[in-house]
Amino acid sequence: MPSYDLCIVIPTLNERENIGILLERLRNTLHDIRYEVIVVDDDSPDGTAAVVKHLSRTQDNLHVLHRIGRRGLSSACIEGMLATAAPYIAVMDADLQHDETVLPEMYRKISSEDLDLVVGSRNIGGGSMGDFSDWRIKLSRLGRRLSGVERHAHLTDPMSGFFIVRRSFFERIAHRLTAIGFKILLDVVLSADGQVRVGEVPYHFRLRQHGQSKLDLIVGLEYLELILDKFIGSYVSVRFVLFCLVGTIGAVIHLLLLGLLLKVERFTFIESQACATGIVMILNYVLNNSFTYRDRRRRGSAFWFGMLSFCIACSLGGIANVLISAEAFRQGMPWPLAGITGLLFSAVWNYGVTAMTTWRQARRSAALRAERRAQASALPDDTPVTATEIRH
């Protein structure tokens, strides 16, 4: 059995066209290093996992971690990184944007110098952002300032997703990782106790050739979530904080709507209140579904059933809120305190109940979807792997 010196973890989501090319480039670049590859695929609808499994039948050093019902670049990387025994672990994107030809230099650096981490950087001499748009460069800088990463390491490119860590270092900090969002390198550095010994190697960031970037507004918000988790995560669940944040936004909109319906439309109070409550409940559901529970987002018919269960759960929470605060008030509690007690109770209730019902892992519909996809794009297990497929 080979014993690998380097493990390369590659997260994939719809990278069917890129992954074969990347694997071949790695083979051509890393002939002097004993390495293995772990592709962590989140059940890509384009069948990336099936392609990699097919290729792995003729490549002993290629493994797939096929995750079902899961999403997330960082958590994918972490699970891949925990699945190897190699002393050094690299992480790189599958879309050919990271330059694999600098991997040997990164490997040489971390294995010969006393370092925890070597990062591929676009911001030192000899590296570049390529054709990265202006706004993404600015966003990247803002993110760096917000993160407070300077306390742990001097990194010119903390947003990079291209690096090698020493496994012993990674395993030391692994329990503290938040696993939220896109920025695994930042998560690693911010989770370290003190200073991290880092080295950097320049590279040119390439343009994506095939497929699409998964970066969007929500990924940006997840970044803030990662930073928030680093500050408060050990005290209270960030998901709960987000749920309350959505609730607060809902309350403000509720008041505005109520005023509008009363004044402009001249509805009665009961009509206006009922109308505003209904609209805000649905709005809260949509916001929680696309942000707080992005990783378990309900789509298709599950979206509508989810909305129903959310509204039922929150209505019960609302009733309990009124009953509890009324009782507290009757017992002599000052009205602001009684009001807040009712609110807090319903926040915890709504969060707990919807976590167990609305956003419980939707196994059945996921299974149906996967079956349909498998029928459309299956690669039969017994087809021989051809030479051209190995290349692509």
Q: Which residues bind Mn ion (CB under 5 A)?
A: 95, 97, 213
Quick one: what does residue 72 bind among Mn ion, ligand GDD, none, with the CB cut-off 5 to 8 Å set by partner type?
A: ligand GDD
Dihedral (CA of 190, 156, 102, 194) sign: negative
Task: Select the residue interacting with ligand GDD from 182, 223, 285, 293 (CB under 6 A).
Answer: 182
The encoded tokens of residue 279 equal 């609209």
Query: What residues from 301 to 360 belong to the interface with ligand GDD (CB under 6 A)?
Result: none
If one asks whether residue 213 binds ligand GDD (CB under 6 A), the answer comes out as: yes
If one asks whether residue 121 binds ligand GDD (CB under 6 A), the answer comes out as: no
Quick one: what does residue 196 bind among Mn ion, ligand GDD, none, with the CB cut-off 5 to 8 Å set by partner type?
A: none
Quick one: what does residue 225 bind among ligand GDD, Mn ion, none, with the CB cut-off 5 to 8 Å set by partner type?
A: none
Q: 144, 186 in Cβ contact below 8 A?
A: no
Nearer to Mn ion, 213 or 268 (CB): 213
If one asks whether residue 71 binds ligand GDD (CB under 6 A), the answer comes out as: yes
If one asks whether residue 106 binds ligand GDD (CB under 6 A), the answer comes out as: no
Q: 304, 298 in Cβ contact below 8 A?
A: no
Q: Which amino acid is at 155?
A: L
Q: How far is the CB of 212 from Mn ion (least distance, A)?
A: 9
Q: How far is the CB of 85 from ligand GDD (least distance, A)?
A: 21
Q: Which residue is nearest to ligand GDD (CB)?
A: 161
Q: Which amino acid is at 369?
A: R
Cα distance between residue 392 and residue 390, in whole Å: 6
If one asks whether residue 369 binds ligand GDD (CB under 6 A), the answer comes out as: no
Angle formed by the axes of helices 269-287 and 238-263, nearest 10°: 150
Question: Which ranges constitute the DSSP H helices of 149-296?
Answer: 167-173, 184-190, 217-232, 238-263, 269-287
Q: How many CB atoms lie within 10 A of CB 278?
A: 12
Give the three-state DSSP class for 12.
strand
If one asks whether residue 72 binds ligand GDD (CB under 6 A), the answer comes out as: yes
Binding site for ligand GDD (CB under 6 A): 11-13, 15, 40-42, 71-73, 76, 93-95, 97, 159-162, 182-183, 213-215
